[in-house]
């Protein structure tokens, strides 16, 4: 009977395999997710993400395009933000702060930020262990770079 109940409630189900992601690809997926918060993923936003990958992670344009394409696929498959942030957390603190700044830059790319984007960025920043002061500085830097 215990075996039946265990199988019935998932005790015998194998765990989903842990997916190893490149932290930069996971960061790109988070940037894509930020762009999708308002329901629209425009070319302007994808161009901004490619620029962020080049400037924040010192990638050449070809590598940034590859990482962006991979990030778009990962974002499409992602079921939660935590699955992505656990890979990005392996980056150094300065790079994680750059990701948060990038999230704000993507948010500002279409000319208008919304409260849902702000909420998403706050949530991601906390998951990345980026404190509020660092996040606020990242937001200010992004505002200065906004079109």
Q: What CATH number is given to the structural domain containing 56?
A: 1.10.3680.10
Say how many domains are in the chain.
1
Whether 3 shows a pLDDT value over 70: the answer reads: no
In a domain, 75, yes or no: yes
Tens digit of each residue's pLDDT (9 = 90 or more) over 34-78: 999 988 888 999 999 999 999 999 999 999 999 999 999 999 998
In a domain, 29, yes or no: yes
Report the alpha-carbon distance of residue 130 to residue 124 in Å, rounded: 9
In a domain, 74, yes or no: yes
Report the alpha-carbon distance of residue 53 to residue 147 in Å, rounded: 18
Tens digit of each residue's pLDDT (9 = 90 or more) over 77-125: 988 899 899 999 999 999 999 999 999 999 998 887 789 999 999 999 9
User: Which residue, among 116, 110, 115, has the nearest Cα to 146 in the 3D structure?
Assistant: 110
Q: At 21, phi and psi to the nearest 5? A: -115, 145
**Domain assignment of residue 79, given as a range:** 21-145
pLDDT score, position 9: 53
Q: Is 74 within 8 Å of 29 (Cβ atoms)? A: yes
Sequence-ordered list of residues with C-beta below 8 angstroms from that of 52, at least 6 positions apart, any chain: 31, 98, 102, 105, 106
Q: What is the model's pTM?
A: 0.84
Tens digit of each residue's pLDDT (9 = 90 or more) over 75-90: 999 888 998 999 999 9
In a domain, 10, yes or no: no
In a domain, 11, yes or no: no
In a domain, 98, yes or no: yes
pLDDT score, position 10: 53
């Amino acid at each position: 009977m215990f075996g039946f109940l265990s199988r019935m409630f998932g005790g015998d189900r194998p765990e989903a395999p842990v997916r190893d992601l490149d932290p930069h690809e996971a960061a790109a997926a988070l940037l894509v997710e930020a762009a999708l918060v308002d329901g629209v993923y425009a070319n302007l936003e994808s161009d901004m993400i490619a620029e962020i990958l080049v400037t924040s992670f010192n990638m050449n344009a070809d590598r940034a395009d590859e990482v962006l394409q991979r990030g778009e696929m990962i974002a499409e498959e992602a079921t939660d933000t935590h699955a992505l942030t656990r890979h990005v957390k392996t980056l150094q603190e300065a790079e994680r702060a750059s990701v948060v700044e990038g999230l704000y830059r993507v948010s500002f790319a279409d000319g208008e930020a919304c409260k849902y984007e702000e909420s998403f960025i706050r949530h991601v920043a906390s998951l990345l262990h980026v404190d509020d002061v660092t996040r606020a500085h990242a937001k200010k830097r992004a505002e200065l770079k906004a079109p």
